[in-house]
Chain A
Amino acid sequence: MQQRSNIRFMSRQEVLGYIMLAVILLAIIPLSLDVFRLNLIGKYLTYAFVALGLVLCWGYGGILSLGQGVFFGLGGYCMAMFLKLEASDPESTKIQSTPGIPDFMDWNQITELPWWWEPFRQLPFALSAIVLLPTLFAFIIGVAMFKRRVGGVYFAIITQAIAAIMTILIIGQQGYTGGVNGITDLRTLLGWDIRSDSAKVILYYVCSAALFICLLLSQFIRYKKLGRILVAMRDREDRVRFSGYDVANFKIFVFCLSAMFSAIGGAMFTLQVGFMSPSFVGIVPSIEMVIYCAVGGRLSLLGAVYGTLLVNWAKTIFSETFPELWLFAMGALFIAVVMAFPNGLASLFKRYIEPKLPAWYSGKTMVSKAPIIEKDSSMETAHANALGSEENIGSSKSLAKPETAVTVAPRTDEKLEGGVYVD
């Protein structure tokens, strides 16, 4: 029973980490930046949703998707469709040959709203579509791939191809999607002007709050048995399978969840930036989003947020000062993250900053743990708790499985198999 202490919902550091992030996002940033910069940060935060999803599915589940932009785009387009319909009331579109339909449809000789646009007049439908449509799409992809045990590199390349297909489709069907220009000029949400300064501030807070909800949800999943099965699966998939778990279902679940997060990010993006275009659906943005996650630390939920903010902030600064150097810096960052610190900022923090922090930070519970934990406690908690422990504790009525078989491989194997490298 003493292991119970390891599987608390959050460790003390994590609680402090969340508080810290909350202070930064909800107080320091809004107070110190003007609305323009605040809106920029808000835009970056929408990418953090994607990065968070990637932490779950790549860092914990071992599934690297290079097509997260597809889900980001789907979410964003669902939101944009609603906003566009609201912006295209007959009054403001009266110069068109068919008033009342979005301007780009009019330019493409479409004379009535396509049937599948119609439901997006309702906000509740649009909101549920934002969450459900990408999740459903991810579910279909997931079932098709994971049930057939497609994984790793193959999955990455196939998702990349899906991103390419989506881009070509959206651009090609411009009468229905706005084509390469995207859906632009979105003004109001239920009559509320989303372009005003006050709206930008409010949307920023909404976005931050949504991000926190997603963070806590991820934290919850990581803390539950599910999270530990994911880690076990990533490290020794066959062993988990041999112990009777249906590995595919867990993968499908986590992939769907990450798609859902991305879609929420996409919808928030549309609200804050005021348009959506196919340039977020393609391969390049999808890979860029992976790097946000990798910079923050692919195992760290909080790291995903910091990584996204840092890379985008650097991108803005660099491209304002030395536009020509930006790609060099970005390229170097990719290489450095992969080669020098594969666990990203989070591992640097654990290694260099955390030991220097006062004792109250690490708290008493940490004293009993070995120094390795300091290197990467998120890894460690997930690891130490994987499967067996929880079953010991009591919920073993239906899931009575031989505990030895599901024991996670020893640490030393980590470097070889997992795609995760402690330090």
Chain B
Amino acid sequence: MCIFNYESGSRDNSPVFKRRSFIKTLIAFPLGLILASSPLSWANPPTSEVNTTGLAVTDDTVTVGILHSVTGTMAISETGSVQAEKLAIDQINAMGGVLGRKIEYIQEDGASDWPTFAEKSKKLLVNDKVASVFGCWTSASRKAVLPVFEQYNGMLYYPTFYEGLEQSPNVIYTGQEATQQIIAGIDWVVKEKGAKTFYLLGSDYIWPRTSNKIARKHIEKLGLKVVGEEYYPLGHTQFNSVINKIKLKKPDVIYAIVVGGSNVAFYKQLKAAGIDLTKEKPLLLTISVTEDEILGIGGENIEGAYAAMKYFQSLDNPNNQAFVQAFKDKWGKDIVIGDVTQAAYLGPWLWKAAVEKAGSFDIDKIRAASPGIELTTAPEGYVRIHENHHLWSKTRVGLAQKDGQYKVVYESEELIEPNPFPVGYQ
């Protein structure tokens, strides 16, 4: 077991950090005044009141769990989420914690192995009695832990954009479900770029397949044409054949949901085969490549591709600028932040808001309090929890730049309603 102190991850030696500490102190100062001037019972409601189900809550601490893969193939993707969650916890603590209690966390390694996720989630819930868990990345890991959370009544904040088709009372989905991500993106590409034909491509597992299914239905509803649909095993590294097929079919849009190491191979080979994404046709729209993935692919290989998701590091708003700055101060200036990292960052904040609204750490009360919770400080802008435990959020389209960042070229006007069981798209 490893209970990290919330400070253990900080880099106190960097001057930037000191500046941030100063800002933190500034923020904490008025809070501290309030705390100091008021009776303790006001600031810290008694533990017996806020915790009736025996969670790991003491008079001045509350323990939560972080459950991601630190080892194995998924460590590549999940590292960012861990960093974001730790940052959020640090910031919440600097502001005085939750109900006057500092957040401590227990980090467990899912090791990219789904039974390990189930095992560790059970440990967190049963042995450590954590008040909530921030974690999981792949759908497979979420599916593996879901029965555990439902059985032991835990609360999971799940950050990844995913295929939908799920709505658990024990999960808050802080990423987008498929329709939020897909429909707005396709609408945009049809309206703005006049796209008529699509070639769907993906890694062979549930998320790309379900997403492409939704995409296909939507494309066909719009009266347009899907000229090809293709799946490759996870980890596949040779895409020349499919690239030839794409050349033969000449689609307006390559709709690519390739993941992991295959991503790198796909984009490099696409470029090498002379398909220039910076030209208007074919253009490439993806929902699987965040800034994190571009690090491996290389900005010059994916320049000109479009991505549809809810967050890009380059978003121009004060919330995001503060978030990016804090993230870089804590984890290094070269770090990039992708969509999922931001969604993971929302987890602790949404939980804090729910706890404070409920006035209790009890899972049932948090669940009751969660729908309708708003976060105006989210880096992506305003978000709100829907009754179905997903987030209302905007969808944006970004244009990949050579430096590995996206330039936001479109943002949906309204918040898009999450619809995990889309009628007519199944």
Where the two chains meet, the residues of A that have a C-beta atom closer than 8 Å to any C-beta of B are 34, 36, 39-40, 43, 95, 97, 103-104, 106-109, 168, 171-172, 174, 179-182, 184-187, 195, 273-275, 277, 279-280, 316, 319-321, 323-324, 326-327
- Asked if B183 lies at the interface with its beta carbon under 8 angstroms from chain A, I say no
A321 adjacent to B2 (CB under 8 Å) = yes
A174 adjacent to B205 (CB under 8 Å) = yes
**Closest chain B residue, CB of each to CB of A108:** B209
B426 adjacent to A184 (CB under 8 Å) = no
- Asked if B234 lies at the interface with its beta carbon under 8 angstroms from chain A, I say yes
Interface residues of B in 188-213 (CB under 8 A from A): 204-206, 209-210, 213
Nearest first, the 4 closest Cβ-Cβ pairs linking A and B are A323-B109, A180-B205, A184-B143, A323-B70
Can you report 9 A-B residue pairs in the complex whose CB atoms are below 8 A from each other? A36-B122, A103-B165, A179-B209, A182-B140, A316-B119, A319-B71, A321-B2, A326-B111, A327-B71
Bound form: Cα–Cα A170–B6 in Å: 42
Cβ contacts under 8 Å, A273 to chain B: 115, 118
- Asked if B144 lies at the interface with its beta carbon under 8 angstroms from chain A, I say yes
Bound form: Cα–Cα A76–B302 in Å: 42
- Name which of B1, B115, B126 has the most chain A CB atoms within 10 A of its CB: B115
Bound form: Cα–Cα A103–B151 in Å: 19
**Closest chain A residue, CB of each to CB of B127:** A36
Cβ contacts under 8 Å, A185 to chain B: 143, 146-147
Residue from the list B115, B140, B233 in contact with A181, Cβ < 8 A: B140
Q: How many residues of B contact A (CB 8 A)?
A: 38
Contacts A174-B206, A180-B234, A185-B143: A320 and B115 contacting too (C-beta < 8 A)?
no
Cβ contacts under 8 Å, A43 to chain B: 115, 119
**Closest chain A residue, CB of each to CB of B109:** A323
Cβ contacts under 8 Å, A95 to chain B: 421
- Asked if B229 lies at the interface with its beta carbon under 8 angstroms from chain A, I say no
A274 adjacent to B118 (CB under 8 Å) = yes
CB distance from B75 to the nearest CB of A (A): 9
B115 adjacent to A172 (CB under 8 Å) = no
A320 adjacent to B147 (CB under 8 Å) = no
B70 adjacent to A279 (CB under 8 Å) = no
Contacts A107-B210, A321-B2: A279 and B204 contacting too (C-beta < 8 A)?
no
B206 adjacent to A179 (CB under 8 Å) = yes
Residue from the list A106, A181, A275, A316 in contact with B147, Cβ < 8 A: A275
**Closest chain B residue, CB of each to CB of A274:** B147
Contacts A36-B126, A171-B204, A174-B205: A182 and B114 contacting too (C-beta < 8 A)?
yes
Bound form: Cα–Cα A172–B232 in Å: 9
CB distance from A415 to the nearest CB of B (A): 37
Bound form: Cα–Cα A273–B145 in Å: 11
B1 adjacent to A323 (CB under 8 Å) = no
A172 adjacent to B143 (CB under 8 Å) = no
Bound form: Cα–Cα A182–B127 in Å: 26
Residue from the list A40, A107, A279, A316 in contact with B165, Cβ < 8 A: A107
Bound form: Cα–Cα A187–B108 in Å: 25
